[in-house]
Chains A and B, each alone.
Chain A
């Protein structure tokens, strides 16, 4: 440590109490602050979003070519919406690892002692998930559009709204898992890794569920991601079946509601 400049605050800052305060920030301002803080590293190092999508890109490159040709439309057209949903699931479910790192290194504790409300600490973080998800979806669409994939912009935009909702929910669940795991990293990764592939397979992301046995159908029907993926497939194909899309929204909304309830509970108990 070199010599330190004298700590001499200006006149303004020694005025007691509230120098330059804009008043009491409410929930929205707090949430915005937390979200902006979370986004800073993403914008400072945009390439970081690529690390979180290595697996989906591998599936896209090595799995998609193996798919049999389907009757109407290309295999890619069927596969891409699922892969984008997979990217959203992967990215958002990893995100708790960042919080866990902050629990271990101490910055989470600093935020708990700041005036930011517990709910804003959870909601702001979860909302941030939308941004990397959109960036990743954009990258995938950019990669596949030159190939046998037709981009239907309207459908894709509606699909992104559903996925945004889904990402917020999964992100909140991932934060809850991190808060419960505290500094036990193995616990976070064990639970995350154990859940992620059943959820993916039971959503028909890699292979269609049509020929599945009854018990597997039932399990898939209980998986909110299945409805999200079905809605995405319809929307990405340029169609708009109201019931399928509505089910997609409901599936994503269920995850969001669950995530926020569990996440808020975990954040309030955090110390």
Chain B
């Protein structure tokens, strides 16, 4: 066990993947250097097509890298595929269980594939079905299960051999908010109670924020930030939105604010001025007084702490929320 506390669970160096589509080369992943240590819960955050899933597919041996190297659980993903596959759990974007199958059959089959004895496979299947509240659905065809039930089954199947490292690709996509919250709760518990190392991809900011110890922001195949969610956000200030009675007042306030808070980033749209500055929440009372003195009385105030979307916006100049809505070009999907 000690060797693994020193060797990272995942270590990539210059990991690169190019796809050729219609004679055009798509650089899906461009030289990824990443270490994930035992016991971490890491979220790969980025818009669709950023290279998150391609990275995950390389780490799980589904596709080979174009160049660079990756070791997962101490094994090279190219030369020791079977050892990697034996060591990891993988929950893909699709359903782990065949739709014509019964859930329990699939769990036992997966356990047997991992070399568990017949008895142990059966015991483990029942244990996980119980833990994921699926016991009563275990004998039904998978096609008749609800989306949330299927997703729980996917995860249960991924855990049947008690992997030390679990990959989850977009685990909560397509789930309603209630199911999503429950799923996130389950992932967190798996991490805290079992110490399972977890790597997941997501394009939901809230999800990365809510459950991950560490957020790796990926865009255009590159890591553009890598830290805890709070550290990423702490670099940015609070967003103070001030509403005024008229555009004129707002213009006066804009120049007054620029004078008073030189390091803040200030923007005006019509009668609204937004000020992004560190410690913005604490500054607001003084700000209101200063602006009243400058003959630009504030009518409405809104103070918001930074979100991961602000982090993404700050890093890329694009909003992740908008990028998710408009972009649907996924090289990894096309090459899957």
- Asked if A192 lies at the interface with its beta carbon under 8 angstroms from chain B, I say no
Q: Does A113 contact B94, Cβ atoms closer than 8 Å?
A: no
B115 near A21: Cβ-Cβ < 8 Å: yes
Q: Does A4 contact B (CB under 8 A)?
A: yes
Residue A70 CB within 8 A of the other chain: no
**Bound Cα distance A150, B112 (Å):** 45
| Chain A residues in 8 Å Cβ range of B94 | 104-107, 109-110
Of B61, B96, B130, the residue contacting A107 (CB under 8 A) is B96
When distances are taken between beta carbons in the complex, the residues of chain B under 8 Å from A16 are: 1, 164
Q: B189 at the A/B interface (Cβ < 8 Å)?
A: yes
B interface, by DSSP: helix, strand, loop or mixed? helix
A2 to B135, CA, bound (A): 13
Q: Are B82 and A115 in contact (CB under 8 A)?
A: yes
Q: Quick one: which of B86, B149, B194 contacts A9, CB cutoff 8 A? A: B194
**Is there an interface contact between B130 and A98, defined as CB atoms closer than 8 Å?**
no
Q: Tell me if A5 counts as interface (CB < 8 A to partner B).
A: yes
A1 interfacial by beta-carbon distance below 8 Å: yes
B residues 32-64 with Cβ under 8 Å of A? 57, 60-63
With A and B bound together, what is the CA distance between A267 and B100 in angstroms?
A: 21
- B88's nearest neighbour on chain A, judged by CB, is A113
Q: Is B193 an interface residue (CB 8 A)?
A: yes
Whether, in the assembled complex, B238 has its beta carbon less than 8 Å from a beta carbon of chain A, the answer is no
The answer to whether B102 has its CB under 8 Å from any CB of chain A is yes
Q: Tell me which residues across on chain A come within 8 A of B182, comparing CB atoms.
A: 1, 3-4
Known contacts A14-B194, A105-B94, A115-B114; A271 and B336 CB within 8 A of each other: yes
Let me know if B115 and A7 touch, CB within 8 A: no
* Docked-complex contact B113 and A25, CB < 8 angstroms: yes
Stretch binding the partner chain, chosen from A34-42, A229-237, A257-265: A34-42
CA distance A266 to B81 in the complex (A): 18
Bound complex: CA of A269 vs CA of B149, how far in Å?
A: 31
Question: Residue among A3, A4, A36, A101 with the most chain B CB within 10 A?
Answer: A4
Q: CB within 8 Å of B: which of A102-128?
A: 102, 104-107, 109-117
In the complex, chain A residues whose CB is within 8 Å of the CB of B105: 37, 40, 44
Chain B, residues 18-39, CB within 8 Å of chain A (1/0): the string is 0000000000000000000000
User: Count the A-B residue pairs with Cβ separation under 8 angstroms: how many?
Assistant: 153
Complex contacts, A3 vs chain B, CB 8 Å: 133, 182
Interface pair B115/A23, CB less than 8 Å apart: yes
* CB pair A25 B115 closer than 8 Å: yes
Q: Do the beta carbons of B85 and A113 come within 8 Å of each other?
A: yes
Given A18-B115, A33-B113, does the pair A2, B97 have CB atoms closer than 8 Å?
no
Chain A residues, Cβ within 8 Å of B109: 33, 36-37, 40
Chain A neighbourhood of B127, CB < 8 A: 9-10, 13
With contacts A105-B98, A106-B93, A110-B90 taken as known, whether A20 is within 8 angstroms of B117 at the C-beta atoms is: yes
Task: Mark interface residues in A117-144 (1 if CB within 8 Å of B CB, else 0).
Answer: 1000000000000000000000000000
Q: Which of chain A's residues have a CB closer than 8 A to the CB of B86?
A: 115
Query: Is B214 located at the chain interface by the 8 A CB criterion?
Result: no
A6-B189, A16-B1, A115-B82 given; A1·B148 CB < 8 A: yes
Instruction: Please give me the residue from chain A that is nearest to B147 by CB atom.
Output: A1
User: B120, A20: Cβ atoms under 8 Å?
Assistant: yes
Asked whether A6 and B114 contact (CB < 8 A) given A1-B148, A14-B194, A101-B99, the answer is no
Cα–Cα distance between A16 and B195 once the two chains are bound (Å) = 11
* Cα A16 to Cα B1 with chains together (Å): 8
Closest chain B CB from A260 CB (angstroms): 21
Residues on A close to B: CB < 8 A?
1-10, 13-14, 16, 18-25, 30, 33, 36-37, 40-41, 44, 98, 101-102, 104-107, 109-117, 182, 271
For the complex of A and B, the 7 pairs showing the least CB-CB separation, nearest first, are A106-B94, A20-B120, A110-B96, A107-B98, A113-B90, A1-B148, A7-B131
Residues of chain B at the chain A interface (Cβ within 8 Å) = 1, 57, 60-63, 82, 85-86, 88, 90, 92-102, 105-106, 109-110, 112-117, 119-120, 123-124, 127, 130-133, 141, 148-149, 152, 154, 157-158, 162, 164, 178-179, 182-183, 185-186, 189-190, 193-194, 335-336
What are 17 A-B pairs at a CB distance below 8 A? A1-B182, A3-B133, A3-B182, A5-B130, A37-B109, A40-B109, A41-B141, A44-B102, A98-B100, A101-B100, A106-B96, A106-B154, A107-B94, A107-B95, A107-B96, A109-B94, A271-B57
